Amino acid sequence: MIPSRPAAASSAPASSPSAAELIAWARTEGRNLLEPEAYQLLTSYGIPVPPHRWVRTPEEAAAAATQLGFPVALKVVSPDVLHKSDVGGVVLNLTTPADVKDAFPRVETAVKQACPQARLDGILISRQEPPGTEVVVGTLRDPQFGPAVMFGLGGIFIEILHDVSFRLAPVTPEDAEEMMREIRTFPILAGSRGRPAADLRALRDLICAVSQLAVDLPAVSEMDLNPVIVRPTGLTVVDARIMLRPD
């Protein structure tokens, strides 16, 4: 569950808002979903996200990190920053409360310097997930054909290899399995050269859940879950962007 929105931001719906409330709230402010809100929406569809807290001060951040367990990642929350890493808005591998307290103002300063007009709505602290294979799952909405789902290797590979597959939603489990096997780099997921195989069943379920979300919520114009860390057992979405259509 996402905690109450930081006081620096405008008032939020009641705790555990529905998808409709999250979207209506964002549209009222003329923005897309913030990452904590995206996490809330994904969780409502059974999509795993890391344990996290939305905080507003270094002291709250340190306390949240201690509660979540180290190491943690720290990310700026802002409706005006699309690529957080590009503006110094992400710090990884923080291992002590002191590290978290030190990183908090550094991130805010870096973002303000890079994007002076950006509104800062606090910081997202999340438990850092163990390594695995990185994939991307996303959606886009065609004016004629409706929502489509995309799958491929994530992280830097999507930009370098452009190795992705698409299906129109709704996607069946059989469609999802075909999408995975269509990409040229599928042997990486299946396990090769001593690498363990990724949890293909969890990936299939994720693709289907993302497809259902896109079908259920026509207000969502685009979704980008990248990276999704897939392990031999289970997976976690560690970065999420959800864009909304104009009201």
Average pLDDT, the chain: 92
Decide if 98 contacts 61 (C-beta within 8 A): no
Kindly report, residue by residue over 116-135, the tens digit of the pLDDT. 999 999 999 999 999 999 99
Closest by alpha carbon to 164, among 175, 174, 145, 149?
149
Spatial distance between the Cα atoms of 127 and 97, rounded to a whole number of angstroms: 13
CATH numbers and ranges of domains, the chain: 51-127 (3.30.1490.20), 133-244 (3.30.470.20)
Please state the pTM of the whole predicted model. 0.91
Kindly report, residue by residue over 202-224, the tens digit of the pLDDT. 999 999 999 999 999 999 999 99
| Contacts with 182 (C-beta within 8 Å, 6 or more apart), sequence order | 165
Pairing of strands 72-76, 90-94: antiparallel
